[in-house]
Structure 1
């Protein structure tokens, strides 16, 4: 069955949220509701009559006899943990189907997040556990990837930032994860044992409130016999913390408090309260879970360690993207800004961290499916003969573009200087002139100036002939996946100084073409034809008219060809006669007369080397395929 929707399932240690994206649409995903709420406390309760309840319902429903909260952790073999995770997801899945928010069959693909610090084996084991909940299609991906995708598609990251280094700081309820996204690939920064979660602050508030409670001993007995009461009290501590960080300025007054509330019965109440003084005390007190370091100290050291690990790789992130519900705590942003100062780095907290991961997971799922289809579509083009046919079709235009400047270049840089050398008696015989001309021609063809000339003509050929035909093949792919046509175009041509140098298409195509042209002109008999044009066609017979009598008087019984060969090999005209015989005007005249013949010779020689051109077509086609693949890797990030 065709997959129509991707479901982003953010099963968090503290909260759970779900979002849905339509695969064939680029509209933003929508948040789904359970119990009429888009964000639910991660709680699972058991009611003797109602069965399993999740979220707020598990907390407020009278008669709940079992309650579990903050149960997300690395997969393990604890049967209670496995049953809790499986039951929670199974119940959530059923509720989403019952209220018709998802179809629930093979047309839905669930993407569930996990901390980026989890290993691949952890993810695989977690995915295996979650599939036991009866969800047909399910994939586990790092939450950092979801945060990055949400920031990208919500327009919070410009394209140049997407391609640079982005550090994602995900401050969750159970862990704080640091992930580098470089060139669109995620690289988790390993901190070994990572237990820096915001729920430790909840527990510290709980411990402080319990320690100061008038009925401490009684509460401890209640919590031991009825654990669900302790769970509710811990959630009250969490609410107090969240209220405080939502408006810190309000609670800077010693007489103002952010409070939570939980009733054990009509006589016993648990009321955690915090203000600025209390919160500073809690954030700076040593915690056994953090090796007797305070939460604030541990967070600061973790950010510094992340920076040092990046510095070892000579990486300075352009963006520090903060997400996770605890990123709302103002001091975490201040620490990040202090350690990653502007202008080198910009710190950007997500404005809706509680929704960010669910929305991002739905986008990741849609992106994965559309990106795979995009690659498949491009591969169909690359595997066909269309690119090779485009190049082959336009080879005659390439020959046309090359013959005139090559002819002019050979005349100016080889023929004309060579004739002037003969004029000034630097070259003795015409045979020596032929050798000198060939050497000059080869030197010029191998020079940077000649290569640049050929480069320029090839760039013109590619831009005016190849690129438009190639665009006719790539533009429909871009339209289909709603990305700019320029994503698969070489808009600025193949000049590697203009186009993204990483593609190297200019280098590859131009290097192949220059080498091909030089080899054809030097090794294909072209130079020999040039010398035939100059020496025998425009130069030798005037010499024969002057020296013919002397040659015959010397007993040289020669035919027409023999006279030319003899003059070429033996005739050494005196230096005082050369400048009058071949003055500058005559050299210009000879060069002007041979130019059309030279262009024709070059065209014939190039066209005659069809086998060599076939090899060039293959090599240019391979370079284009490689370049298109590289552009596709960049274009994929634009798919929504």
Structure 2
């Protein structure tokens, strides 16, 4: 089998947010290292850059805080928006992405020693069409190898694989354990939105009517309004921003930095907390600087101020309402609630989440970097998963499943032969014999047809316990051989051997049905097998009739049997046909005893089992192998999709 290895590739997770941008890098997709990327435009914040880009007539493209503090430039901020068909969104997106890439190359943090794949995040609620347009804009920015991933998936991967997020306190010794069956609520709190998503396995469903308008930038605006209302420098500040949108954006940024400073210091044990930052308008004199100081009382006022965008609710109230909506959207309690986004650092965010969801709430030490690191992980997993899928496809294409099935075919034939033959006389022959004796069946040929129809129906019925048990036992006997073949693939991609194990099959809980059901095995063979059973059963009765008629007597001559016998030679075949098609008077049928039929049943059923097993090994072999192997291949493909979730 061909072995597929991940190629020499760098992955960059690019979390382009409404207010902030962070990057994380997998230097080599074949290795496990994920590093947070320093950004030249981050200035003192190191790893997190303000999502801002300015076009300067002389200096060109300027990013981050440098763009905000650049005079005589066209400034773009807060431009992450699904309206990519509008140039006011597409243009700054292209400029910012190009600028970040060129900055990294300029300082030697993106060497040309290997190709780079860029992975960007999108809110879960963005449609495939919007994501497609986003991809187009990113390619227009010069990124040839780029993909987009739901930020909820990135958050989940970060929580699972980073090692930073620990399990609930009761099991805090180990890293967070997530399985494909777990339901996880992901709350990504950003500047423009609260993106709440319910994730189960591969399925991610945004929580409708929750969080869409609830971004942390609303708090920045509320602080700015509070500052303009309460500051002793109100008149001077308003003079700078009244006709200058550039300066208004800079003031909002200053208010945001004061907010971040406040929540960095906010701790239950702190007696006094004051968030500070200084707004300095560009072009002002040396005395034009205006300190912003916000304490606990003022912050509580800001957070509880009614906002039109939130339906007249305060920010904290709206946030709590959205968490309650999310809790109601999850059927049962989520196994974990993962908080990401820099705004998750606000103290009350974690408090409210734990009030509603208890100790299921987890958050990394650097929530502002969680999505970037999760995106880098998603890119690495995607590349590794391609190799895993290719190995599984080769395994299925090279006929190994068919070989396993064929090797076990003799066992299936024997099991099915016994299952079909055992009790065949009691289930089919005796009832039909009684109906024939009562005259309800005219001829033995009609009896054979009725028995064949009944046997065929029982073979393909889902409630045939003997056949079910035979197939279930046989299928479970296949699993170890299949597991031995798939285990090396699992090890190659560093997932546990049992990830590709097919679930045990049982009749009791009917788990056999969606796997390899009776209809699959007998699709082409049921009628032929039923014919064999009916022929053998009726043959026993016909033999008794033949013997009785051969000695002569009134009934024999009535049906013309004697004339055929006296003809001798090849007329024996005609005699058999005559016996099977003769409508013997009901009175004449009384001479045939049920006890005699029962006496012959055990030996005939053993003979029948052997005949059926041989027929399945020969006439039905290729069809059964093809059908069963196809069903098992489909099941292994589905199992592989679940196994991919374990790749890291």
Q: Could you state the TM-score of these two structures normalised by the residue count of structure 2?
A: 0.76
Shift of 1:307: 5.9
The secondary structure found in structure 1 opposite 2:124 is: coil
Pick closer, same or farther for the CA change 1:20–1:592 going to 2, 3 Å: same
In structure 1, the residue matched to 2:477 is 464
Shift of 1:491: 4.4
In structure 1, the residue matched to 2:173 is none
Shift of 1:426: 6.4
Match of 1:111 among 116, 119, 132: 119
Counterpart Cα distance in 2 of 1:600 and 1:288: 82
Shift of 1:18: 1.0
Q: Is the 8 A contact 2:194 2:215 kept in 1?
A: yes
Match of 2:20 among 15, 21, 41: 15
In structure 2, the residue matched to 1:490 is 502
* Number of residues of Structure 1 aligned to a counterpart in Structure 2: 613
Q: Note the alpha carbon deviations across 1:433-484, whole angstroms, 9 max, x for none.
A: 897688568646644698221222222222324x345445533433333233
Determine whether 1:39 maps to 2:53.
no
Determine whether 1:178 maps to 2:196.
yes
Determine whether 1:609 maps to 2:580.
no
Counterpart Cα distance in 2 of 1:436 and 1:83: 82
In structure 1, the residue matched to 2:343 is 326
The secondary structure found in structure 2 opposite 1:638 is: coil
Structure 1 residue runs of 5 or longer lacking an equivalent are: none
In structure 2, the residue matched to 1:295 is 315
The secondary structure found in structure 2 opposite 1:205 is: helix
Pick closer, same or farther for the CA change 1:196–1:571 going to 2, 3 Å: closer
Q: Is the 8 A contact 1:148 1:360 kept in 2?
A: yes
In structure 2, the residue matched to 1:219 is 237
Q: Is the 8 A contact 1:6 1:109 kept in 2?
A: yes
Shift of 1:350: 4.6
Q: Note the alpha carbon deviations across 1:156-213, whole angstroms, 9 max, x for none.
A: 6977764454433221012222333345233344559944221221232233234333
Q: Is the 8 A contact 1:494 1:505 kept in 2?
A: no
Q: Note the alpha carbon deviations across 1:570-620, whole angstroms, 9 max, x for none.
A: 6999999988xx96xx7776344435433333334444534xx44443332
Determine whether 1:359 maps to 2:366.
no
Pick closer, same or farther for the CA change 1:609–1:494 going to 2, 3 Å: farther
Pick closer, same or farther for the CA change 1:453–1:262 going to 2, 3 Å: same
Q: Is the 8 A contact 1:67 1:231 kept in 2?
A: no
In structure 2, the residue matched to 1:637 is 645
Q: Is the 8 A contact 2:194 2:214 kept in 1?
A: yes
Shift of 1:229: 6.8
Counterpart Cα distance in 1 of 2:256 and 2:63: 18
Q: Could you state the TM-score of these two structures normalised by the residue count of structure 1?
A: 0.77
The secondary structure found in structure 1 opposite 2:11 is: strand
Q: Is the 8 A contact 1:109 1:137 kept in 2?
A: yes
The secondary structure found in structure 2 opposite 1:272 is: strand
Determine whether 1:283 maps to 2:303.
yes
Match of 1:271 among 286, 291, 306: 291
Pick closer, same or farther for the CA change 1:441–1:410 going to 2, 3 Å: farther
Counterparts of 1:354-393 in structure 2, within 5 Å, are: 354-393=368-407
Shift of 1:257: 2.5
Pick closer, same or farther for the CA change 1:39–1:418 going to 2, 3 Å: same
Counterparts of 1:479-558 in structure 2, within 5 Å, are: 479-493=491-505, 497=509, 504-506=514-516, 509-514=517-522, 518-523=526-531, 525-533=532-540, 536=543, 558=565
In structure 1, the residue matched to 2:262 is 244
Counterpart Cα distance in 2 of 1:326 and 1:453: 62
Structure 2 residue runs of 5 or longer lacking an equivalent are: 1-5, 168-175
Pick closer, same or farther for the CA change 1:205–1:380 going to 2, 3 Å: same
Shift of 1:353: 1.3
Q: Is the 8 A contact 2:305 2:313 kept in 1?
A: yes
Shift of 1:33: 1.4
Pick closer, same or farther for the CA change 1:592–1:295 going to 2, 3 Å: closer
Shift of 1:639: 2.1
Counterpart Cα distance in 1 of 2:47 and 2:397: 46
Counterpart Cα distance in 2 of 1:65 and 1:553: 122
Counterpart Cα distance in 1 of 2:379 and 2:490: 20
Counterpart Cα distance in 2 of 1:223 and 1:29: 43
Counterpart Cα distance in 2 of 1:491 and 1:384: 23
In structure 2, the residue matched to 1:258 is 275
Q: Is the 8 A contact 2:201 2:645 kept in 1?
A: no
Counterpart Cα distance in 2 of 1:534 and 1:132: 83
Q: Is the 8 A contact 1:169 1:321 kept in 2?
A: yes
Counterpart Cα distance in 1 of 2:529 and 2:91: 78
Q: Is the 8 A contact 2:29 2:383 kept in 1?
A: no
Counterpart Cα distance in 2 of 1:431 and 1:194: 76
Counterpart Cα distance in 1 of 2:426 and 2:556: 36
The secondary structure found in structure 1 opposite 2:104 is: helix
In structure 2, the residue matched to 1:598 is 608
In structure 2, the residue matched to 1:208 is 226
Pick closer, same or farther for the CA change 1:67–1:195 going to 2, 3 Å: farther
Shift of 1:282: 0.4
Q: Is the 8 A contact 2:122 2:149 kept in 1?
A: yes
In structure 1, the residue matched to 2:420 is 406
Shift of 1:219: 2.9
Counterpart Cα distance in 2 of 1:596 and 1:500: 27
Q: Is the 8 A contact 2:274 2:295 kept in 1?
A: yes
Counterparts of 1:156-195 in structure 2, within 5 Å, are: 162-163=180-181, 165-189=183-207, 191=209, 194-195=212-213
The secondary structure found in structure 1 opposite 2:423 is: helix
Pick closer, same or farther for the CA change 1:540–1:321 going to 2, 3 Å: same
Determine whether 1:5 maps to 2:10.
yes
Match of 1:621 among 613, 625, 629: 629
Pick closer, same or farther for the CA change 1:463–1:290 going to 2, 3 Å: closer
Pick closer, same or farther for the CA change 1:404–1:269 going to 2, 3 Å: same
Shift of 1:71: 3.1
Counterpart Cα distance in 2 of 1:201 and 1:587: 91
Shift of 1:120: 4.1
Q: Is the 8 A contact 1:413 1:440 kept in 2?
A: no
Pick closer, same or farther for the CA change 1:247–1:440 going to 2, 3 Å: farther
Shift of 1:495: 5.8
Counterpart Cα distance in 1 of 2:591 and 2:35: 94
